[in-house]
Chain A
Amino acid sequence: MKLHHAVFLASAALFAAACRQDMHDQPKHKPFTGSVLFKDHRSARPLVAGTVARGQLMEDEHLWTGKIDGKPAETFPAALAAHFGGGADWQARMLARGHDRFQIQCTPCHGSVGDGNGMIVQRGMKRPPSYHIDRLQKAPPGYFFDVITNGFGAMFDQRDRIQVEDRWAIVAYLRALQLSQNAQYADLSAEQRDELDHPKPRTEGQSHSTEHGR
């Protein structure tokens, strides 16, 4: 065997070792993998018209549209209790979930207290109305649900990314925000009034611990 044969064989072995990808790239589709089979290059096919997925029957008008007989609902749907685990404290769990989802999905535009001064607004987006104006203070929960689901003004609908129960949880948290941002001195407990009247000086440790969240 001449030297150049050996070199050729060795490099062929190296290439072959690097090129066998049959098992790595199988003819199967992971989520959103492209496909040459369909005209639109999507392996994820649109549902055939009239298909109803499990749990997507949407019979409950109140839950799915935020409306009762075509008018924005004044109440939260009864189905939420079961979704958030029932028991005495399901509403607290719903509020916590709403807080969480609000922070993720809403704060970029609406700001973390809902005054419409989110980061994106500072970068040139139109400022959304504050939740604390009179009109929105008086708007029923179903109205907010409808806006999240179908969009309003410059805001696109968010229904693809926020599940229906989470949308209601966000509405509940939004109500809590409205309450907190418009709280009166008289609404506070004796303990809270005392804290407000006699604020404790901040120690270094405390000021550090408040900087954790974004």
Chain B
Amino acid sequence: MAQVFPKSSNTLSKASIVVAGLVVAALGLATININRTTYVNTQSMPIDQVVQFTHTHHVGSLGIDCRFCHFSVEESSFAGIPPSKTCMGCHSVVWKDAPILEPVRESYRNDTSVEWTRVHDLPEFVYFNHSIHVNKGVGCESCHGRVDKMPLMMRENSLNMEWCLACHRAPEKFLRPKDKVFTMGWDPVKELGVSQEELGLKLKEENHVQSRTNCATCHR
């Protein structure tokens, strides 16, 4: 009887061990990278909301300050969502019958909440605090992008840990003067004629900004 396995199966069986290892590694890599895509983490995708609120109009065209609505951003971990009363301040007069605004009117009438969907939803084991970032000179734009150019709110950045760390390792790459934190489209070269690095290092020194990379800084 002829042998079941030809001699070449020796080589094949040895090679298959290596190939199996490679396949596992490739699958692992694929998993990690698929999870990092904007498709999976919904970055850059407008999120469905009950009211199609537009920052382009309110921030870009009207020039309303971020803090008009996000009033607790300087004192609290949470930036703040205004009561429906704040919307009604204008929208009881302007666009007062617009069907698009019915959820806001309903909320105001019945004292119920407009059920917004959180766009920047950090994992629950991350303890983020808006006030410290804003008070140390991290601009809204550095994390949230050009909100004044977002007709519908979307996440500009991944919010992956490596993204947080990029700034926590080298805050000077993003720091701005404290009075420019809420300005959109601020550019140190255009406005002050200095490079971001030069300005950042100066501000880091002046405002006692430290590089924070200890796990317990964010994970408590």
Contact = CB atoms under 8 A, between A and B. Distances in A.
A124 B115 contact: no
Contacts, number: 88
Contacts of B35: 17-18
A31 interface: yes
Interface string A144-181: 00000000001111001110000000000000000000
Interface in B94-119: 94, 112-113, 115, 118
A101 B85 CA distance: 19
B86 A161 contact: yes
Interface stretch (A21-29, A66-74, A135-143): A21-29
Contact of B93 (A14, A104, A124): A124
A41 B115 contact: yes
Among A14, A154, A156: residue with most chain B CB under 10 A: A156
B31 interface: yes
Nearest to A16: B31
A147 to B, nearest CB: 13
A24 B159 CA distance: 13
B62 interface: yes
A4 interface: no
B30 A156 contact: no
Nearest to A31: B78
Contact of A108 (B68, B88, B92, B125): B68
A120 B31 CA distance: 50
Contacts of B123: 23-25
Contacts of A26: 124-125
B218 interface: no
A10 interface: yes
A14 B30 contact: yes
Contacts of B65: 103-104
Contacts of B88: 156
A126 B68 contact: no
Nearest to B27: A10
A125 B67 contact: no
B49 to A, nearest CB: 13
B6 interface: no
Given A41-B113, A160-B85, A161-B82, A14 B124 contact: no
Interface in B40-80: 40, 62-65, 67-68, 71, 76-78, 80
Contacts of A17: 31, 35
Given A18-B34, A23-B125, A41-B113, A123 B40 contact: no
Nearest to B82: A161
B21 interface: no
B192 to A, nearest CB: 10
Interface string A175-214: 0000000000000000000000000000000000000101
List the 5 shortest-distance A-B pairs measured between CB atoms, nearest first: A31-B78, A24-B123, A26-B124, A161-B71, A104-B65
Interface of A: 10, 13-14, 17-18, 23-26, 28, 30-32, 34, 40-42, 103-105, 108, 119-120, 123-126, 154-157, 160-162, 212, 214
11 contacts: A18-B31, A23-B124, A24-B125, A34-B113, A34-B115, A41-B113, A104-B68, A156-B88, A157-B85, A160-B83, A160-B85
